[in-house]
Structure 1
Amino acid sequence: MPSPPLPPVENSAAAWLALVPAIAVILLYWSAFPASFQFDDWNVIVNDPRVHSLAAWWESMPGIRPLLKFSYALNFQASDTAVGFRVVNVLIHALNATLVFWLLRVRGTRAGLVVAQASQVALLAALLFALHPVQTEAVTYISGRSSSLAAAFCLVSLFCWVRSEESRYATAWLIACCAGFAAAVATKETALVLPLALWVYSADRPVRATLRRLMPVLLLTALMLILALSLPRYRYLLEVSLDTRSLVANLLTQSRALVYLAGQLVRLGNGNADPQLPVIDSIDALSVLLGIFWLTLLVGVMLRLRTAPVGAFAVLWFLLWLAPTNSVLPRLDVANDRQLYLALIGPVWWVSLRLLSLSRASRSMRYGVAVLLLSLLSIATVQRNRIYATEITFWQDTATRNPGSARAANNLGMAYAIDCRFDAAAAEFERSIELDSADYRARINLHLLSQGKLPGAERCDVSEEEAKISTASMTEGNPAGRVTRGGGIAFLQPSLTPCSPVEMLFSGFGIASRGRSKGSEQ
């Protein structure tokens, strides 16, 4: 049975509709532009000289994520302020929202929707994708660009893939698809699952024809894997990943992490920059049952991909884009919101179709519910963006949501110290030590603070006596030998190599033992 024709890209109405999500993104994120650098931003951008100019970037090559670092170097050379970086992030998100509209509009017609209905569903889905607060970690959080920029190249590649199915210039479009794929992988390695995404998108097409068209993409995948494994840095990172925890323990852990990530789609006020999710080291009934559930769900939707094109696509797309970070290979951080960036597309498409297809509700009621939902998402996103205003607001929120996190307490202490609030800083460093007595970072920071030598706090215009808080009260339970042997001077060196094995192992601190970087993912 022949497939329905593609909606014309040149259609003026569709073109105007495609701009709506982009405009919505810019308006919604406008207030977030003045926010400060946060968390990984300091290690991977502000204090990494390799991304401070194009010449420095070129000298640092070959290296990991070259295209991401190239974007940082371009950004830094144009403007080294957080505003400049965040403007680019927002524009990337706006582009992605537009591409999501077009791709879902096409997919909707191929799933049997009439063009008008497919356009309405795609528009609502693109707006849900654009305005959902879970996306702030890939947009407002500058280092989250690794997710949004890689997604942009993936969506461009998918766009070219779709065009290659119907165009007279199929070969040219397929070459462009491969180029977009290569760019996505050069931005973030998780894009290696794109060939599977292309297959899922084209599940309505003849299998043999799709596999034949996929061959150059699959060959490119193999080539990029070989190239990555030829680089010592990638091999070392793989070793560190496999040493983090066993594969069985990681599968058990991720069976629960997937529940958390799925819940983030509906918990609009639960944004968490550093969620403390449990690591499951031994087999337990709940984790096994959840693992069986996810596996059964995966097999079920694969079998129904043709008979239930929207629902099966939504679930399979969601699981597919979480697979690189939340399945087999262990990560120090069990889960983060930015991993949902592309995965969100499937669920929002399904929700949009269900909402706009309610037969028992009037048209005005359906649109009213849609407007209400978009309003709730926008409010939640604005509230979440306010958290990024300063380092203090960022870490106060993170510490409140994770009261047992020594990393959050240490980083909040550093934020207080930089703001010359020494008593509050000391209290947070001490709380971090209480939460994790084996973690020396807060001890080093506390000792340096007691000496008035904590890097970052030198600018405080106070007297020497005011800067030196009572050493006795601040260093209680903090043996001086431990601090000295811990290498206090060494921690004053420039920031660790972004995403390096050392940074991954010592996840949670950056320059001057500030506790900035998570390191497991930029």
Structure 2
Amino acid sequence: MSQPAMNRRSLAATVHGLASPVRLVALALAATALAHAPALWGGFLYDDLRDIVANPAAQATTFLERLPHTVRPLLKASYALQDAVHGVNAAAFHAVNIGLHLGAVVLVFLLVRRGVELAGLEDRANRIAILATLLWSLHPALTDTVSYVSGRSSGLSGLLVLAALVAATGRKARPWLAFLCAALAPLARETALVAPLLLLVFQATVGRGQPGSLRRAAPVWAGALVAAAVLAAMASHRDLVSFSLTTRGPLDALRANVFALPEALRLWLMPWEISILPRQPVIHGWDDPPTLIRSAALAFVTAAAIALRKRWPVVALAVLWTLMAMLPTNSVIWRVDPLALRPLYLAWARCPGTARRFIRTRWRCSPMPRSSPRMRPGRI
């Protein structure tokens, strides 16, 4: 072999080594930790004071007493546990939030890589996964979840949802882990009940060729049903749903969210317009042109993604995942502030790499046949 050929092979081996999954994940973790480290000196801000510092359910000495009367019991348990260990130490609370986000970074990388592999581009999976992970983990919209202690509800539940999906979609499924994570996630934030639907979207798009879909999905559905039963048994959660339904009916809530959902997605694409308190959109009547146009656009995008899920599975996954993840907060349940940033934490966990993936495959991406040796699900 000639010397130039040997040099090229050596260079290729070096580049391949630098692009190994472990090194890429380490790069993402380092960049994310560096970006969010200033939060350690942020203290308690705004809702943190009400939800943690002055909340008896978040304090070690009164947690058990207040448990039957609170919401999101796993979230409150995490606060109370920290209070028992180190007291009201803001830096320690922020450190846990950053740690949860770093855990989610690893899971997003694994899930994106797995989806790309299942779509038939295993040779590009690591590059696409690291790009998508960095675009997601460093986006300013996630600051509301990571940098505020009270944002832990989205961070903790998002981590558990991602863990459930990674456990369910692996080359070797881990049913008990998938069940446990799916059951715990809604106890941190009730919107995590959407986990089985996110798995359904994954399986209907990039995961269509993965064997044992029902066997993989069953533990996630079972975990979500157990969590739903627990939440339904808690009077505080029933009161919360009742308050939303009596404040505004489902149709009024839906009309407001027809405007809030596109605005939230716009802020993701235009991060320079993100603020601590996003300006709520102006809501029009059902028969007004702005409402009709937005409703038609959302319906068209949803229908197109469903229709094209076999031809362009990665694009369909991005669209349907985003809409499904936003469903609990931006559909028929009224929120005082329809436009919020925290729902974007999970909604965009699968989307940042889609544009690059879409362009690189020249608008066409079909799953590899099951018999193809390239189609091997990602390895944890």
By the TM > 0.5 criterion, same fold?
yes
Q: Tell me what 1:22 maps to.
A: 29
**What pairs with 1:498-517 in structure 2 (closer than 5 Å)?**
none
In the alignment, structure 1 residue 306 sits paired with structure 2 residue 310: yes
**Structure 2 match to 1:37:** 44
Corresponding residue to 2:63 among 57, 62, 78: 57
In 2 relative to 1, CA 176–12 (structure 1 residues): closer, same or farther, beyond 3 Å?
A: farther
Unaligned runs of 5+ in 2: 1-17, 364-380
Q: Does 1:350 align with 2:357?
A: no
> Residues 175, 330 of structure 1: CA spacing in aligned structure 2 closer, same or farther, 3 A cutoff?
same
1:103 matched residue in structure 2: 111
Contact 1:252–1:287 under 8 Å retained in 2: yes
> Aligned-pair distance for 1:354?
4.5
Following the alignment from structure 2 to structure 1, what is the Cα–Cα distance between the partners of residues 209 and 362? Answer: 31
Whether the aligned pair in 2 keeps the contact of 1:229 and 1:235 (CA below 8 Å) is: yes
- Between the aligned partners of 1:224 and 1:88, the Cα distance in structure 2 is 24
1:332 pairs with one of 310, 331, 336: 336
- What are the within-5 Å matches in structure 2 for residues 202-351 of structure 1? 202-203=203-204, 204-205=207-208, 209-278=212-281, 280=283, 282-283=285-286, 284-351=288-355
The separation in 1 between residues aligned to 2:32 and 2:316, in whole angstroms, is 28
Higher deviation after alignment, 320-329 or 346-355: 346-355
Aligned counterpart, 2:122: 114
**One-letter identity of the residue aligned with 2:233:** S
What are the equivalent positions in structure 2 for 1:423-438 lying under 5 Å apart?
Answer: none
Q: CA deviation at 1:279?
A: 5.9
Q: Secondary structure at the match of 2:236?
A: helix
Report if the CA contact (8 A) 1:85-1:142 is conserved.
yes
Matched residue type, 1:197 = L
TM-score by length of structure 1 reads 0.62
- Name the residue aligned to 1:127: 134
1:398-425 Cα distance to aligned partner (Å, 9 max, x none): xxxxxxxxxxxxxxxxxxxxxxxxxxxx
Distance apart, 1:176 and its partner CA: 0.9
> For residues 162-183 of structure 1, what are the alpha-carbon distances to aligned partners after superposition, in whole Å with 9 as ceiling and x for unaligned?
22xx32xx4xx11110101111
SS of equivalent to 2:41? coil
Amino acid in the other structure paired with 1:99: L
- Do the aligned residues in 1 keep the contact of 2:168 with 2:217 (CA within 8 Å)? no
Bigger relative contact order, structure 1 or 2, given CA contacts below 8 A and separation 6+?
2
| Alignment of structure 1 residues 428-467 onto 2, 5 Å | none
CA positional deviation for 1:275? 2.4
Q: Corresponding residue for 1:83? A: 91
| Aligned counterparts of 2:210 and 2:162: Cα–Cα separation in 1 | 22
2:162 counterpart of 1:159: no
- Aligned positions, number: 341
Paired residue type of 1:40: D
Residue in 1 that maps onto 2:8: none
- Offset at residue 207 of structure 1 (A): 9.3
* Among candidates 140, 149, 158, match of residue 142 of structure 1: 149
RMSD: 2.3
Q: Structure 1 residues 216 and 131, CA, compared in 2 at 3 Å: closer, same or farther?
A: closer
CA gap of 1:355–1:205, structure 2 versus 1, over 3 A, is closer
Give the 3 Å change call, closer, same or farther, for CA 208–120 of structure 1 in structure 2: closer
Q: Which moved more, 1:271-280 or 1:244-253?
A: 271-280
- Contact (CA 8 Å) 2:315, 2:358: kept in 1 or not? no
Change (3 A) 1:216 1:125: closer
Q: Which amino acid aligns with 1:348?
A: P
Identity %: 31
Are 2:199 and 1:198 aligned?
A: yes
The SS at the match of 2:38 is helix
Q: Distance in 2 between matches of 1:223 and 1:33?
A: 35
User: Which segment drifts farther, 24-33 or 224-233?
Assistant: 224-233
Q: CA deviation at 1:293?
A: 1.5
Q: CA deviation at 1:220?
A: 3.5
Q: CA deviation at 1:94?
A: 1.2
Q: Is the 8 Å Cα contact of residues 195 and 220 (structure 2) preserved in structure 1?
A: no
1:197-231 superposed Cα distances (whole Å, 9 cap, x missing partner): 11222223369942354234334433332332222
Instruction: Give yes or no for contact 1:200–1:317 (8 Å, CA) kept in 2.
Output: yes
Question: 1:33 is aligned with what amino acid?
Answer: L
Contact 1:138 1:148 in 2 (8 A): yes
Structure 2 SS opposite 1:265:
helix
Q: Is the 8 A contact 1:254 1:334 kept in 2?
A: yes
**CA distance 1:31–1:231, change in 2 (3 Å):** closer
Q: CA deviation at 1:288?
A: 2.1
Structure 2 Cα separation of the partners of residues 32 and 238 of structure 1: 32
Residue 181 of structure 2 aligns to which amino acid in structure 1? G
Q: Kindly tell me: are residues 242 and 208 of structure 1, through their superposed partners in 2, closer, same or farther at Cα, counting changes over 3 Å?
A: farther
Distance 1:96 1:213 in 2: 21
Larger Rg: 1
Preserved contact between residue 250 and residue 280 of structure 1 (Cα < 8 Å): no
- Kept in 2: contact 1:37–1:82 (CA 8 A): yes
